[in-house]
Structure 1
Amino acid sequence: MNGASDILFDPLLPWPAVWAACALSLAFVALGLWRGLRGWWLRALAAAALLVAIANPSFQVEDRAPLTDIVLLVVDRTASQQIADRAEQTDAAVERITAAVAALPDTELRTVTLRDGADNAGSLAMTALSELLAEEPRGRIAGAILVSDGQVHDVERAPDLPAPLHLLLTGHDTDWDRRLMVRNAPSFAIVGEQLTLTLRIEDSGAVPEEVAQSGLAQLAIAIDGGEPMPFTVPVGQDLELPLTLPHGGMNVVQIEVAATEGELTERNNAAVVQINGVRDRLRVLLVSGEPHAGERTWRNLLKSDSSVDLVHFTILRPPEKQDGVPVTELSLIAFPTRELFLEKVDEFDLIIFDRYKRRGILPMIYLENVVSYVERGGAVLVAAGPDFAGAESIYRSPLAEALPAAPSARVLEQGYRPQITDTGHKHPVTEGLEALAPPPEDGAEGPGWGRWFRLVDLLPESGQTVMSGPDDRPLLILDRVGEGRVALLASDHAWLWSRGFEGGGPQLELLRRLAHWMMKEPELEEEALTASAEGLDVTLTRRTLGEAPGPVEVTAPDGSSRLVELREASPGLFMGQFTGPETGLYRLAQDELSGVVALGPAAPREFEETIASGAPLADAVDAHRGGTLRIEEGLPAIRQVREGRSAAGRGWIGITPREAYRTADVTVIPLVAPLLFLLMAIGLTLGAWLREGRR
């Protein structure tokens, strides 16, 4: 415990009045001296006594307890600090600093460990230092030390320290690295149309001469974990990469540069870009046969969607119609059937046959070409009417090779509500359709949508029956043919739903799902393995029409694998969850299905600049008279230096002792009694008057 004393003044009047009284007293004393008054000195003593009484001095004694100085230490443990031997260098520096500070008298160490910033924020060392500084008394801070590679991302938040700031730099002078940068990547792109990714490969640091002279790198590109496509590209130049998305929905593009011997890390040699594929326009060919009440419903339904380009081929005057009107008098334009069904059939995304029957309008070779179109990846929807069960049925044509069911020649004319089959509850085309309708008012089973009154009896041959009619007869059958898809609707009464009959039904939603399923949209695949990520938490989704699937094998970026069990969330839908230990591309595999999911940013900020450098913090270190020292050159000693002097040198760094203290007790003793001094002033004044009066 130390003591300190001081004289304090607590004037009875404001200080300006005290100083004015001093000046006035001095003037009066000077006047008396000038006039030769014998009692001038008594007057001076009286004024002094009066001024001391007004100043009211006191003697203060403090008992002070000295406080220790505090050194702040920020230890960077972010991802870039795990490269090469930087973690070992950091451990050695922390151990040396801890021992050196402990050896200093009256000095303590406060340490904070820095981890990767949230949302790819990088190394927030200055934020961590500011928070640590805010927790301690500013008057006790003797210095701050940062153990890092120098690549911090919040330099603008450097605090105003009352003491030196030092940087102990990890890494080596000989470090060099190669990294891949994605300069431009769209979030959305049109399926089938070419897009451009802008890439760049850069070398930094002490690049070996043979690597610099080569100037080339091996680049591999893969989509959705498929077979990589290799390229040889130049280093240090912007690369325009043309790319075409193969499907709608999320496309995961993985770009990777082959590792080069001696480079610092391979973590920045790869990038993952997620691009959502969208379709520009859905081109639909609607082929109508005999006019009926639902024909205009199909047309209006398709025309109401601005994303649909509709070509409607309808037969208004079949060949057998003999009404005596000369052909030259007809206002009909010949339809370009050859161009549509032979030359440009592959340009359509979907072909709909609505109650079409053979009339000699379309030659058999045209229908054969439609079958080939399906096998090459096209889509056909057949909405069957009564003619589908007759002798002129479209089934009795080459198109039968692609249809999943044959007509039994029976047509049922009775009211019924379409039902979702057990398979339909699992299939994404019809899953949950019942939830779009209220329960039936008559208490019957099934959804509460309106009835249909016609059904063409079918004999299924392939595919999945997802909707049924009376007596569980097939109503909607879906099938895959070659690379394409086919849907067969065994009724022409779907238009009743769009007219709102008995409450209507989800015709628009059913058609939308059918079209998207035929376009092979990933979210409507009946056998699919997908994943969605939020941070490092991944949700796996497995759709299947079969039995419960087994666990999913997940392969991490480092090559390690694990099994994730799935649980049934709804019929045909199984889900599982896991948390990834690190960012990167994870591969999924279950039976014959596979997929990928990317965790974290396309290019982690921690690996944008991997070469250790003191340049980012140079201004902050210089402003606080600190120093930057490389750990590879030797761990520094810690000295105490006076405030205002340079605090760093070769092999050492300095801290400034603050000599802070805590006041334990204060004693104040008044030096004057104002009343006594006032009486003294009166007495001295009286004495001066008497002395001057006797003369």
Structure 2
Amino acid sequence: MTRQILLDPMLPLWLIAALASVALLACLLAALRGLPGWWLRALGVVTLAVALLNPSLQTEEREPLTDILLIAVDDSASQDLSDRAAQTEAALQDLLTEAETEGLDTRVARVPDGDGDSGTLVMGALSELMAEVPRDRIAGAVVISDGRVHDAAQAPDLPAPLHLLKTGRADDWDRRLIVSNAPSFAILDEEFTITLRIEDQGDVPASAGTQAEIILAIDGGQPRGYVMPVGEDIQLPVTLPHGGLNVIEFRVPEAEDELTDRNNAAVVQINGVRDRLRVLLVSGEPHTGQRTWRNLLKADAAVDLVHFTILRPPGKQDGVPVTELSLIAFPTRELFSEKIDEFDLIIFDRYQRRGILPSIYLDNVRDYVEQGGALLVAAGPDFASADSIFRSPLAPILPAAPTAIVREEGFLPAVSELGEKHPVTEGLPRGFGLDGAPWGRWFRQVQVDALPDTQSVMTGLDGEPLLVLDRVKSGRVALLGSDHVWMWDRGFEGGGPQAELLRRLAHWLMQEPELEEEALVASALGQEITVTRRTLGDAPGAVTVTAPDGSETELDLAEEAPGRFVGRLVGPEQGLYRLQEGVRTAVIGLGPAAPREFVQTIATDEVLRTAIDARQGGAVTVEEGTPDLRAVREGRRASGRGWLGFTPRGAYLTADVRIMSLVPAWLFLMLAAGFATWAWLREGRD
């Protein structure tokens, strides 16, 4: 039970104060004039002022409320390392028992990994706990964690001490890989550097050594190993093998007794771009379709085109020596001997042997292709003639042999059954032609016989091969058995997708990975992984997906288009996923290869030190035992050896309130009148 005096003024306080001041001033003047009743008049004024203030006595019946201890338990991924999870549960049970002994209520929040890669958001959980209970009942807050909190700067304004029960062991150590500098794109065939660092943290044993091996693999390919010093930045030279997206994986083998290998890997995705695409176009004679090739190649500002055209028609014999047909000497020796390896693509457009290019130059072209180069032959009537380049040193690498027949009649180019699966021709845009035809017609086709183990992806008259592709050792060759692709460019009968077809064909010849016919590709949107298997063969088997924690999942693929099989799954966590189907492998990263929880893994109290000190709290290692709880006065240091403090709040619930006037109004009136009468009588006698 508590009592207190309350005032309920009958008039505004300022008015009461003003009236009382005037009356007391009059009493003061009376005293100065020597009137004997001045003090009685002053008592009367005071009595009236007190009456106007209307004092009353309030009596409350109070029921005391228990204080509350807030507990935030870190259940993030880093708490699963070593025996931290067991430490956490044991510390929580001991703390709950100790709180019950001290008469404290508890509110517990379990804090999992934050959404995305936001890490451990303990302070957000504490703020939510504070919003659920009255502020004047909070006696303290305890965080059970390894101390790797990622929202420490957002600590709530606690009215009581904040403490940390730190999990982990004093002898914990960990090794991690850091990629501090990597470009987002790089030029093909040009060396660039990536800055790497291997860093050891915690109580590093002597057996860890001062050097470590790092393994590099591109697109899940053959790994290469390097030895690096620990604790130093290293510039690692890298050259991209192909254009488009290159996924480079770095990995450090797990060391003995380190906490985790989740931060021993890093993934860098770099787009490979060609500085300048160098193309050599050799035209055997001027013709209508020549402009199509030139326009296509010159439309791209990144293409350096060298166009070699033989101007004298085959039937013209005017006695002028071949060496004197050009105003300036064309550098055939330089192009076909010294610098042939600098070209990304060579195109022979209606070329036939005339003695201008010696056989040794054509030998060089064949060697160029076998060593990884790209050759496209756009055949016209020349390919069926006696001077065909099939009857030259190029014959061993060409994918089809001419039959010496040239068919000149209208036909509609079509994609073969194999071509429906091949990335060069699959899904080519339709709807160009007239009367429902997909494309416009061509009017000339060189009859060829496709050689074994080649790929006929387009057909013409009577289903005969029109576009034939082949791989020759490390290089690639394509043969287009017609010189009428220009009719699509001119829009004849609606035209066709000549630009898309020739673009795909050139990119396939230059071995761009997105046009590989046998490929395992993965892409990610958020946490969803889309796995695509392209193949020209039968349906592939299931894809084995290895998650960052080492668990494996079998993913079945469904055919979405001819030769394209797709499967989707949601990755349960962020990190590096490895995919394998038969001998084909791929890698894909969801978020960083090492999520935020595994960037720093050694337990520490430094992250929360500022928040703890600001609230007079302390940090205790669970390994040393769970501390006792003690009550401390507000503003005092709330931690010591083996104990943590809480501040009693003294909160209560008011059960009953009674208010009683101290003196009745009539009594105040009689007292005031009595003092005034007494003063009058006394002054009257005097």
> TM-score range with shorter-chain normalisation?
over 0.9
Q: How does 1:366-515 map to 2 (within 5 A)?
A: 366-435=361-430, 437-438=431-432, 440-443=433-436, 446-447=437-438, 449-462=439-452, 463-515=454-506
Residue 646 (structure 1) shift: 1.9
1:344 matched residue in structure 2: 339
Q: How does 1:145-184 map to 2 (within 5 A)?
A: 145-184=142-181
Alpha-carbon distance in 1 for matches of 2:123, 2:169: 23
Alpha-carbon distance in 2 for matches of 1:221, 1:397: 43
Alpha-carbon distance in 2 for matches of 1:420, 1:411: 21
Whether the 8 Å CA contact 1:301–1:508 is kept in 2: the answer is: yes
Whether the 8 Å CA contact 2:139–2:160 is kept in 1: the answer is: yes
Q: 1:561 to 1:176 in 2, by over 3 A?
A: closer
Alpha-carbon distance in 2 for matches of 1:333, 1:134: 87
Alpha-carbon distance in 1 for matches of 2:544, 2:613: 53
Pick from 266, 271, 292 the counterpart of residue 297 of structure 1.
292
Residue 458 (structure 1) shift: 2.1
Residue 528 (structure 1) shift: 0.9
Q: How does 1:189-204 map to 2 (within 5 A)?
A: 189-204=186-201
Q: How does 1:215-254 map to 2 (within 5 A)?
A: 215-254=210-249
Alpha-carbon distance in 1 for matches of 2:375, 2:326: 31
Specify the code of the residue in structure 2 equivalent to 1:169.
K
Specify the code of the residue in structure 2 equivalent to 1:453.
F
Whether the 8 Å CA contact 1:54–1:674 is kept in 2: the answer is: no
Pick from 68, 77, 90 the counterpart of residue 75 of structure 2.
77
Alpha-carbon distance in 1 for matches of 2:533, 2:128: 46
Alpha-carbon distance in 1 for matches of 2:134, 2:351: 88
Alpha-carbon distance in 1 for matches of 2:56, 2:17: 19
Q: Which moved more, 1:491-500 or 1:88-97?
A: 491-500
Whether the 8 Å CA contact 2:221–2:585 is kept in 1: the answer is: no
Alpha-carbon distance in 2 for matches of 1:610, 1:328: 75
Corresponding residue SS for 2:601: coil
1:97 matched residue in structure 2: 95
TM-score (norm 2): 0.94
Q: 1:264 to 1:336 in 2, by over 3 A?
A: same
Whether the 8 Å CA contact 1:287–1:314 is kept in 2: the answer is: yes
Q: Kindly tell me the number of residue pairs found equivalent between the two proteins.
A: 685
Whether the 8 Å CA contact 1:357–1:388 is kept in 2: the answer is: yes
TM-score (norm 1): 0.92
Corresponding residue SS for 2:221: coil
Q: Which moved more, 1:406-415 or 1:25-34?
A: 25-34
2:589 matched residue in structure 1: 598
Asked if residue 125 in structure 1 is aligned to residue 122 in structure 2, the reply is yes
Alpha-carbon distance in 2 for matches of 1:595, 1:452: 41
Alpha-carbon distance in 1 for matches of 2:234, 2:670: 98
Pick from 546, 553, 570 the counterpart of residue 562 of structure 1.
553
Alpha-carbon distance in 2 for matches of 1:226, 1:343: 32
Specify the code of the residue in structure 2 equivalent to 1:188.
F
Q: How does 1:27-42 map to 2 (within 5 A)?
A: 27-40=25-38, 42=40
Whether the 8 Å CA contact 1:191–1:278 is kept in 2: the answer is: yes
Corresponding residue SS for 2:607: helix
Alpha-carbon distance in 2 for matches of 1:287, 1:494: 17
Corresponding residue SS for 2:389: coil
Specify the code of the residue in structure 2 equivalent to 1:184.
N
Asked if residue 260 in structure 1 is aligned to residue 258 in structure 2, the reply is no
Residue 505 (structure 1) shift: 1.9
RMSD value, Cα: 2.5
1:188 matched residue in structure 2: 185
Residue 111 (structure 1) shift: 1.3
Corresponding residue SS for 2:286: coil
1:276 matched residue in structure 2: 271
The CA deviation string for residues 313-358 of structure 1, in whole angstroms up to 9 with x for no partner, is 1111369744356889865222222222222222111111111111
Pick from 74, 84, 87 the counterpart of residue 86 of structure 1.
84
Alpha-carbon distance in 2 for matches of 1:663, 1:691: 52
Alpha-carbon distance in 2 for matches of 1:231, 1:508: 44
2:10 matched residue in structure 1: 12
Residue 627 (structure 1) shift: 0.9
Residue 145 (structure 1) shift: 0.4
Residue 691 (structure 1) shift: 5.3
Percent of aligned pairs with the same amino acid: 62
The CA deviation string for residues 594-616 of structure 1, in whole angstroms up to 9 with x for no partner, is 22223330343322322222122
Alpha-carbon distance in 2 for matches of 1:329, 1:405: 35
Residue 132 (structure 1) shift: 2.4
1:518 matched residue in structure 2: 509
The CA deviation string for residues 290-318 of structure 1, in whole angstroms up to 9 with x for no partner, is 21011122112211111111111111136
Pick from 22, 42, 50 the counterpart of residue 20 of structure 2.
22
Residue 514 (structure 1) shift: 0.9
2:537 matched residue in structure 1: 546
2:54 matched residue in structure 1: 56
Whether the 8 Å CA contact 2:279–2:303 is kept in 1: the answer is: yes
Whether the 8 Å CA contact 1:129–1:159 is kept in 2: the answer is: yes
1:137 matched residue in structure 2: 134
Pick from 662, 668, 682 the counterpart of residue 653 of structure 2.
662
Alpha-carbon distance in 2 for matches of 1:558, 1:136: 39
Q: 1:530 to 1:661 in 2, by over 3 A?
A: same
Corresponding residue SS for 2:52: helix
Corresponding residue SS for 2:391: coil
Corresponding residue SS for 2:312: coil
The CA deviation string for residues 510-542 of structure 1, in whole angstroms up to 9 with x for no partner, is 111111111211211111111112344321101
Q: 1:318 to 1:343 in 2, by over 3 A?
A: farther
Corresponding residue SS for 2:361: helix
Whether the 8 Å CA contact 2:575–2:595 is kept in 1: the answer is: no
Q: Which moved more, 1:608-617 or 1:525-534?
A: 608-617
Residue 686 (structure 1) shift: 5.5
Alpha-carbon distance in 1 for matches of 2:52, 2:553: 87
The CA deviation string for residues 355-399 of structure 1, in whole angstroms up to 9 with x for no partner, is 111112112222232222222211111111122222222222222
Specify the code of the residue in structure 1 equivalent to 2:88.
T
Residue 468 (structure 1) shift: 2.1
1:354 matched residue in structure 2: 349
Corresponding residue SS for 2:200: strand
Q: 1:665 to 1:410 in 2, by over 3 A?
A: farther
Specify the code of the residue in structure 2 equivalent to 1:89.
Q
Whether the 8 Å CA contact 1:179–1:268 is kept in 2: the answer is: yes
Q: Which moved more, 1:189-198 or 1:493-502?
A: 493-502
Q: Which moved more, 1:648-657 or 1:492-501?
A: 492-501
Alpha-carbon distance in 2 for matches of 1:499, 1:669: 106
Specify the code of the residue in structure 2 equivalent to 1:77.
D
The CA deviation string for residues 253-288 of structure 1, in whole angstroms up to 9 with x for no partner, is 222223333333332222222222222222111010
1:632 matched residue in structure 2: 623
The CA deviation string for residues 422-446 of structure 1, in whole angstroms up to 9 with x for no partner, is 22222111122134x35x4424xx4
Corresponding residue SS for 2:91: helix
Q: 1:393 to 1:328 in 2, by over 3 A?
A: closer
Corresponding residue SS for 2:68: strand
Whether the 8 Å CA contact 2:575–2:594 is kept in 1: the answer is: no
Whether the 8 Å CA contact 1:181–1:603 is kept in 2: the answer is: no
Corresponding residue SS for 1:305: coil
Unaligned runs of 5+ in 2: none
Corresponding residue SS for 1:615: coil
Specify the code of the residue in structure 1 equivalent to 2:94.
R
Whether the 8 Å CA contact 1:318–1:359 is kept in 2: the answer is: no
Whether the 8 Å CA contact 1:139–1:660 is kept in 2: the answer is: yes
